[in-house]
Structure 1
Amino acid sequence: MTVIKMALIGLGKMGLHMVHLIENTKMDTKIEIVAVCDANEEGLASFAASHRGVRTYTDYKQLMNEHQIDLLYIAVPPKFHYPVVMEALERKIHVFCEKPLANSVEEAKKMLDAAEQAGVVHAIHFSMPHEPSVLKLQEMIEQGTVGAIRKIDLILQFPQWPRSWQQNAWITSREQGGFILEVGIHWIHMIQKVFGAIRVVSTQVQYPENGDCELEVQAAMELEDGTRIQLNGISQFAGEERVSMVVYGTKGTIALENWEELKTGLVGQPLTPVEVLESASELPVLKHVIARIQGNPAKIYDFNDGYQAQLILEALRNTEQSR
């Protein structure tokens, strides 16, 4: 396959970012965007004005009816993932989906089963394990840099939610928005890949009375060996955003601060920055998806990864355990 014919469903921030990525990244294989779909006709018109060779649609089924597609990228709000993905899988189209995989554990399981039955490439846009800072962190953990792991803290703090660049109708909804789903999933998946399976022991979530997404979450989790993971999340406060993970070991500490600032130190010593080589980056994830479609070695995270992360997300948001 010398040319990958690709379509995109959803032209929000992530959809437009993917278009930019395709147009500005050197790929071993040519990717041709043949069609895009979005419910916002004004946005479609703006896109069409600068991409005259690309067909635009407001109906994803019509798009699939009228085009032979190798790969479908899905970047619509979470509750719309299921119908779009299932339609693509029924047509045996390779799927690259934004996270979270679905809007419920039940949907995620059905999508996983359908993807495996379809026999196509099914990938989730999980990028953290490909980041050079995470690759370095994993190397340090495997080398025993800080000894045996005693405890992991996950901190999600947002003075404003949604953040200034996330203004849309669904990101504040309790159904499919909130920082647990939108941000927490990246870290949950990364922890699962670096440290292994997670179990939620207990969780407390505070929701506002107006029905919007969570304001706070306090949760206790653990790895298979019993290592504790403490999640502390809060939004709507005075201060600075912090999205970080701190790993406490018997010999020292490793901190991944604000997504990519890696620091470490021995017991009793201050944390100091760790040199991270940008050349070690495995991004963009799209390159791996294309390689897998062509039968070449690749590192992708599939619908099973999405399902496993969804199990933890829904356990964290379980209002029966929340107060």
Structure 2
Amino acid sequence: MQAPIALGIIGFGIMGERLLRAALDHAAAHVRPVGVWDPAPAAAARLAGVAGGVPLRDSAEALIAACDCLYIAAPPAAHVPLAEAALAAGRAVFLEKPLAVDLAAATAFVARAAGARAAVNFPMASSPAVAQLGAWRDQGATGPAQSLAIEVAFATWPRGWQRDAAPWLSRRAEGGFTREVVSHFLFLARRQLGPLALQEARASFPPGDGSETAIEARLTAGGTPVSLRGGVGITDKDDHNTWTLRGPGGAIRLRDWSFAERLAEDGTWRQAPDALPNERMRPLVLQRQLAGVAAMTRGEPHHLATLQEALEVQGVVEAILAA
């Protein structure tokens, strides 16, 4: 059995903490956390609350020197500089999306990083619920895809558990639910159906520099028509979403991140027998993601989202926001 790879984490907010806990509790066979770095004073206190004795490093450079793969969960403006520093030092990188704060910078980075050991954290690449959707499609549950509908809704933005990141998540420059949430469902459409092409879009913003409050778009994925709608203040739920694929044989959907469901003959949605709420499925997903990180770091085949896939998703996202 191969030794676990040394994993460094930059950015210790919610996402950094989630990945560290998953690495310690569920993925020790794949990764060995060797340090965290975050310049925010709150990071040390947050890290102290995680059992495992993972050190807070003195600098990004010190962490890069100590790891085999760098996970970058900092705000988007830092993604490219940190990734390029890690790649220049011979490390692999695992990035949060979006790749950069603007499409030109993301495009240039992907071109420079061609052939590098790099991947992007789209967890649906490792989701058991998504695997169930694929299995149903293979069994003919929909037949040839005819339409896809994506809907996302939020009581408030940012969501309650993201308050610590509100200074950038609530701003137009780097934040918003289209970059943060819709991108996941566009990635799923790309993986399931094929290349994305935006046809038309509309986005609404509040006065000032606040992030979007509503979007609507029409696009295609592998030629299949896709409708997209999203908004803030249109549900009493913290976060509600559906990804619904229809064809002549029926319909399947992913609901609220983790419930794979199939449309029954009586018109009701029936979830997969082993369906789990997102809180319980997340550790399984992150374990599979980290197994992919280890494979990617070793230069082996992996299932993680590629830089090119992430760039295509970002291109659609930024075009929607510019509409």
Native 8 Å contact 2:259 2:275 kept in 1: no
Partner of 2:161: 165
Paired letter, 1:112: V
Q: What CA distance in whole angstroms lies between the structure 1 residues aligned with 2:75 and 2:229?
A: 25
Q: Does 1:234 align with 2:231?
A: yes
Q: What CA distance in whole angstroms lies between the structure 2 residues aligned with 1:30 and 1:144?
A: 37
Paired letter, 2:189: I
SS in 2 for 1:176: coil
Give me the TM-score of the superposition, normalised by structure 2.
Answer: 0.87
Q: Does 1:146 align with 2:146?
A: no
SS in 2 for 1:149: coil
Partner of 2:38: 38
Higher helix share: 2
Where does 1:17-28 land on structure 2 (aligned, <5 Å)?
17-28=18-29
Q: Does 1:216 align with 2:230?
A: no
Q: Of 92, 95, 115, which aligns to 1:94?
A: 92
Q: How many residues align?
A: 311
Q: Structure 1 219/125 Cα, relative in aligned 2: closer, same or farther at 3 Å?
A: same
Q: CA deviation at 1:287?
A: 1.0
Q: CA deviation at 1:125?
A: 0.9
Native 8 Å contact 2:117 2:299 kept in 1: no
Q: Structure 1 52/200 Cα, relative in aligned 2: closer, same or farther at 3 Å?
A: same
Partner of 2:316: 312
Q: CA deviation at 1:267?
A: 6.2
Q: Does 1:4 align with 2:1?
A: no
Q: Structure 1 52/274 Cα, relative in aligned 2: closer, same or farther at 3 Å?
A: closer
Partner of 1:259: 257
Partner of 2:61: 61
Q: Structure 1 18/228 Cα, relative in aligned 2: closer, same or farther at 3 Å?
A: same
SS in 1 for 2:135: helix
Where does 1:103-114 land on structure 2 (aligned, <5 Å)?
103-114=101-112
Q: CA deviation at 1:290?
A: 0.5
Higher relative contact order (CA 8 A, sep 6+): 2
SS in 2 for 1:255: strand
Partner of 1:81: 79
Q: Structure 1 230/56 Cα, relative in aligned 2: closer, same or farther at 3 Å?
A: same
Q: What CA distance in whole angstroms lies between the structure 2 residues aligned with 1:30 and 1:268?
A: 46
Q: What CA distance in whole angstroms lies between the structure 2 residues aligned with 1:287 and 1:14?
A: 17
Q: What CA distance in whole angstroms lies between the structure 1 residues aligned with 2:32 and 2:15?
A: 17
Partner of 2:47: 47
Percent sequence identity over matched residues?
24
Paired letter, 1:302: T
Native 8 Å contact 1:253 1:267 kept in 2: no
Q: What CA distance in whole angstroms lies between the structure 2 residues aligned with 1:188 and 1:199?
A: 11
Native 8 Å contact 1:92 1:120 kept in 2: no
Q: Of 160, 171, 174, which aligns to 2:172?
A: 174
Q: What CA distance in whole angstroms lies between the structure 2 residues aligned with 1:202 and 1:267?
A: 34
Q: What CA distance in whole angstroms lies between the structure 1 residues aligned with 2:268 and 2:30?
A: 46
Q: CA deviation at 1:186?
A: 0.7
Native 8 Å contact 2:101 2:174 kept in 1: yes
Paired letter, 1:143: Q
Paired letter, 1:162: P
Q: What CA distance in whole angstroms lies between the structure 2 residues aligned with 1:145 and 1:232?
A: 25
Q: What CA distance in whole angstroms lies between the structure 2 residues aligned with 1:220 and 1:301?
A: 23
Specify every segment of 5 or more residues in structure 2 that has no aligned partner in the other structure, as ranges.
none
Q: Structure 1 26/209 Cα, relative in aligned 2: closer, same or farther at 3 Å?
A: closer
Paired letter, 2:9: L
Q: What CA distance in whole angstroms lies between the structure 2 residues aligned with 1:217 and 1:132?
A: 29
Paired letter, 1:235: V
Q: Structure 1 29/148 Cα, relative in aligned 2: closer, same or farther at 3 Å?
A: closer
Specify every segment of 5 or more residues in structure 1 that has no aligned partner in the other structure, as ranges.
none
Cα deviation code 1:44-93 (max 9, x no counterpart): 25536866562423x423544xx343111110011211111111122221
Partner of 2:202: 204
Paired letter, 1:144: G
Q: What CA distance in whole angstroms lies between the structure 2 residues aligned with 1:296 and 1:93?
A: 15
Cα deviation code 1:269-298 (max 9, x no counterpart): 33222334779x664301111023234443
